[in-house]
């Protein structure tokens, strides 16, 4: 669920929390071509056990998980991996079920890239480069358009708390300000961060609205409740539909879950991926890194989250048909109280959809 890009985004994190590691730009080496010795395998696995012991979000399980990984290593379960790719496959098949968290993964980035990791926020130079790349890639908002009947459509790839995203979002919401209903498409969206989710929800509410509580056992003083602050242009008092599918992950799931919990949107599509625990990459050994779930997110209304179960749609539809279904629902919602030219335009749009 994590896409590679340069600079800070090379370790782009789903439902990111600070501080995040940073890395040098460029794609990682081909893991299948990197040879490993048994001693190197051992170093990687033991480093993984230790970082999980120290940083895993669920401290009631972290020690037992680390102990089990160390026991696997003593039994020689990783010794025969000949390449970085083989070691990752063994970790996926044997360690991931023990950790039992959708965000957990181990990747090979290579020694050079891992050497650039640092605890703490990115440098001003890296942040500026990342923001520039965001702008050149559409600021994670690749599509804004009108659908027949005066329904707005907004595609969001990732939810971020960064000027390129918030500026593009405000511009998009301004373009759609006159529409009678709004469809927000997060099918296939891999995630984002709680503050980025709150930025979008802020355009849909008329008062400060708590969304999630984020608690990191490693930083008790950093526990916080995230609020969506009202933003302009506002899209309030009008129906909102959110498109989801099995590839909707992490922060994008939070967006759907939060809106569903507060009764602010109708979700259309398929049950989502099911990853709710925020975290970030941490270096291991020999050029390996692990994405470690490090904090617990709970919705302020339900008191729970979507880990392992996903977010269920209000209206089920195949992923490739979800937009058509939501479009019809949006037009029907507009027609419940529209009159005059707004009604005529919505009726025209509905007629165009056919049976």
Q: What gap in Å lies between CA 211 and CA 224, rounded to an integer?
A: 11
Question: Residue 354: how many CA atoms within 13 Å on its side-chain side?
Answer: 1
Q: What structural domains and CATH numbers belong to the chain? A: 29-108 (no CATH), 139-275+296-353 (3.90.226.10)
What are the backbone angles phi and psi of residue 84, rounded to the nearest 5°?
-60, -35
pTM (whole model) above 0.75: yes
Q: CB of 32 within 8 A of CB of 85?
A: yes
Tokens coding 304: 């729970």
Question: For residue 76, is pLDDT > 60?
Answer: yes
Q: What gap in Å lies between CA 22 and CA 119, rounded to an integer?
A: 8
The helices-and-strands tally (H runs, E runs) of the chain is 11, 14
DSSP per residue, 84-114: HHHHHHHIIIIIHHHH--TT-EEEE--HHHH
Q: Provide the H-helix boundaries in 30-162.
A: 38-55, 59-74, 84-90, 96-99, 111-115, 124-136
Q: What gap in Å lies between CA 154 and CA 182, rounded to an integer?
A: 8
pLDDT tens-digit readout, 140-154: 999 999 999 999 999
Q: CB of 199 within 8 A of CB of 161?
A: yes
User: Which residue, chain included where needed, has tokens 């358009």?
Assistant: 145
Q: Which contacts qualify for 46-49: CB closer than 8 Å, 24 or more apart? A: 46/70, 46/73, 46/285, 47/284, 47/285, 47/288, 48/91, 48/95, 48/106, 48/284, 48/288, 48/290, 49/73
pLDDT band per the 50, 70, 90 thresholds, residue 117: confident
- Average pLDDT of the segment spanning 30-47: 97
Q: What gap in Å lies between CA 46 and CA 173, rounded to an integer?
A: 49
pLDDT tens-digit readout, 216-272: 988 888 899 999 999 999 999 999 999 999 999 999 999 999 999 999 999 999 999
User: Considering only 6-15, 46-55, 140-149, 163-172, which range has the smallest mean pLDDT?
Assistant: 6-15
Q: Identify the bridge partners of residue 291 per DSSP, sorted by sequence position.
A: 105, 281
Q: What gap in Å lies between CA 223 and CA 219, rounded to an integer?
A: 7
Q: CB of 167 within 8 A of CB of 319?
A: no
Question: For residue 24, is pLDDT > 80?
Answer: no
Strand order, beta sheet including 296-299 = 224-228, 209-215, 296-299
């Amino acid at each position: 669920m994590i896409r590679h890009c340069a600079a800070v985004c090379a370790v782009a994190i789903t439902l990111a929390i600070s501080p995040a590691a940073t890395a040098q730009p460029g794609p990682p080496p081909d893991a299948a071509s990197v040879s490993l010795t048994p001693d190197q395998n051992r170093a990687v696995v033991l480093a993984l056990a230790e970082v999980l012991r120290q940083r895993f979000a669920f401290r009631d399980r972290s020690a037992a998980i680390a102990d089990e990984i160390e026991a696997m290593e003593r039994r020689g379960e990783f010794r025969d991996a000949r390449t970085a790719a083989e070691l990752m496959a063994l970790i996926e098949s044997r360690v991931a079920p023990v950790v039992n968290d959708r965000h957990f993964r181990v990747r090979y980035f290579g020694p050079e890239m891992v050497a650039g990791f640092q605890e703490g926020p990115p440098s001003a130079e890296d942040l500026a480069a990342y923001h520039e790349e965001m702008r050149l890639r559409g600021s994670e908002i690749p599509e804004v358009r009108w659908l027949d009947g005066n329904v707005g459509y907004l595609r969001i790839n990732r939810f971020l708390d960064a000027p390129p995203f918030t500026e593009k979002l405000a511009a998009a919401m301004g373009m759609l300000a006159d529409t009678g209903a709004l469809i927000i498409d997060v099918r296939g969206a891999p995630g984002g961060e709680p503050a980025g989710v709150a930025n979008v929800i802020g355009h849909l509410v008329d008062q400060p609205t708590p969304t999630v509580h984020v608690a990191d056992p490693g930083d008790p003083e950093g526990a916080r409740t995230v609020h969506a602050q009202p933003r302009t242009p506002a899209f309030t008092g009008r129906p909102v539909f959110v498109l989801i599918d099995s590839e909707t992950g992490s922060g994008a799931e939070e967006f759907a879950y939060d809106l569903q919990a507060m009764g602010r949107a109708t979700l259309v599509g398929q049950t989502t991926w099911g990853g709710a625990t925020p975290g970030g990459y941490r270096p291991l050994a020999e050029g390996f890194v692990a994405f470690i779930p490090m904090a617990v997110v709970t919705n302020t209304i339900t008191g729970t989250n979507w880990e392992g179960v996903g977010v269920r749609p209000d209206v089920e539809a195949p992923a490739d048909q979800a937009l058509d279904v939501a479009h019809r629902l949006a037009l029907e919602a507009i027609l419940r109280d529209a009159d005059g030219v707004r009604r005529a335009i919505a009726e025209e749009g509905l007629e165009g959809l056919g049976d």
